Structure 1
């Protein structure tokens, strides 16, 4: 048996200002993404030729806002709408957790599309490069979930089962770590290995959608469904349902991209 680490979610307290590990994980993910996308652009000869430093920094700032707003709005709408309807001010309490990946994906896609259109940037080409390194952000996000002691797994008897606070004495799967490994590390290795493929623009976005969805559905079998939702029907959770739409969208997108390559 293992016991949840009990790490204080507050990394640093400076008077009234509390710096949370959850926020630091987002910063780490953003910085890693910023660096690795720029590296891809430099390798492709697009840095400071097709994509200027100012345009890139403006795009990145726009995407960060899209991630935060989309992730929070997605969580509110998909996972706990009735609660936040009665406690609207708590929508702003993002340091307590409660971010939806699916919303956090749609938000920057929409924001990025508008920014690229306004500044005449290659949207799909940039999207490929950002989605290539997106698993890195997912990895850090799941570490933040683990530190917060949230999104725990189902009751289990495996030797590495953990006891999490506020949920009883039962051993549970550390599902945050499963997701960190599959959605983060494994998917990053796959996506990074494909970064130089001469595929139509947008193909790597589709690969990411399918890869993430498969990893998420696998992990959902070990993760405790959100209390306010439970199982939607049979063994199906909200995460499985939303991820299934990603598999369909990614598969259709790949078919359209490669239909003229046959």
Structure 2
């Protein structure tokens, strides 16, 4: 096996005086900015009958939902639950890492529900509008995980496997339990692993964005775009978990392969199927004229 590519990027993109600007933060910023620009483009195409200011409110509330929901969900399901009474301020130390997509999604849905009621919009008209925007942030977030050398995959001998220096201690433990990997550890100083972050970037980012964007180019029945989002994300995440190493504090939850990510993705698959069935009997949304009075 030839020398694999080593994932050893500097997580700091640049410095502004004493401030360190991290790539991961830039990925979040790029995701929010890209979603806002795409949202405004779709609004001007007549996909949502609201003003530019109202759309800005929706994007802002959704951003807050991602951050608040993602952090709380991670701390509840992935962190040592003792933080609640031992170190409650840990909830606010987001710079220490720890965000959950499923929690961020719930945060966005909560923000969307509140915004929809304020603007007398059907909740799923809002969700159908927002769904094609989400993969932008998902894809960039996974790229940030890759640059940080975190959330790596299982050891593998595929030709595109990569070395993750941050996984060295895990490499040693794996080789000790699986002697057939001792030679690779000695040869490369680490174990080649699946770049699972790139798999997720491709599937959750590129593929989902492409499909949802193309499907939503034409007016579609209510629930259709949301259903596709839930079904695709749930299936993609469930599948990639088979080659991704689970969070060490949780490990596998059952049968030597079931992970927390898979458990939390199953409801999305089910909801996606239900929404697609509902879409068969739902009205097809019409395009609105952006220049109509009170909408610009």
Q: TM-score, normalized by length of structure 1?
A: 0.91
Shift of 1:122: 4.3
Q: Which residue of 1 aligns with 2:20?
A: 18
Tell me the distance in 1 between the aligned counterparts of 2:6 and 2:218. 41
Local SS of the residue matching 1:158: coil
**Where in structure 2 are the equivalents of 1:11-160 lying within 5 Å?**
11-44=13-46, 46=48, 50-82=49-81, 84-85=83-84, 86-160=86-160
Gaps of 5+ in 2: 169-189, 284-296
Q: Which residue of 2 aligns with 1:226?
A: 247
Shift of 1:175: 0.5
Tell me the distance in 2 between the aligned counterparts of 1:102 and 1:145. 16
What is the number of equivalent residue pairs in this alignment? Answer: 258
Once the two structures are overlaid, the 10-residue window that deviates more, 124-133 or 222-231, is 124-133
Q: In the alignment, which of 187, 191, 201 is matched to residue 222 of structure 2?
A: 201
Tell me the distance in 1 between the aligned counterparts of 2:8 and 2:105. 30
CA separation of 1:4 and 1:120: change in aligned 2, threshold 3 A: farther
Shift of 1:83: 6.1
Tell me the distance in 2 between the aligned counterparts of 1:99 and 1:165. 22
Once the two structures are overlaid, the 10-residue window that deviates more, 7-16 or 134-143, is 7-16
Shift of 1:6: 1.5
Whether the aligned pair in 1 keeps the contact of 2:152 and 2:245 (CA below 8 Å) is yes
Q: Which residue of 2 aligns with 1:243?
A: 265
In the alignment, structure 1 residue 178 sits paired with structure 2 residue 199 = yes
Tell me the distance in 2 between the aligned counterparts of 1:256 and 1:45. 20
Q: In the alignment, which of 227, 231, 235 is matched to residue 214 of structure 1?
A: 235
Shift of 1:164: 1.1
Whether the aligned pair in 1 keeps the contact of 2:69 and 2:105 (CA below 8 Å) is yes
Q: In the alignment, which of 280, 284, 290 is matched to residue 258 of structure 1?
A: 280
Tell me the distance in 1 between the aligned counterparts of 2:238 and 2:141. 17
Shift of 1:82: 2.7
Shift of 1:96: 4.1
Local SS of the residue matching 1:28: helix
CA separation of 1:83 and 1:19: change in aligned 2, threshold 3 A: farther
Gaps of 5+ in 1: none
CA separation of 1:257 and 1:104: change in aligned 2, threshold 3 A: same
Whether the aligned pair in 2 keeps the contact of 1:51 and 1:121 (CA below 8 Å) is no
- Report the structure number with the largest CA radius of gyration: 2
Whether the aligned pair in 2 keeps the contact of 1:213 and 1:244 (CA below 8 Å) is yes
Local SS of the residue matching 2:68: helix
Whether the aligned pair in 1 keeps the contact of 2:222 and 2:282 (CA below 8 Å) is no
Tell me the distance in 1 between the aligned counterparts of 2:52 and 2:282. 35
Cα RMSD for the two superposed structures: 1.9
Once the two structures are overlaid, the 10-residue window that deviates more, 132-141 or 248-257, is 248-257
Shift of 1:259: 4.1
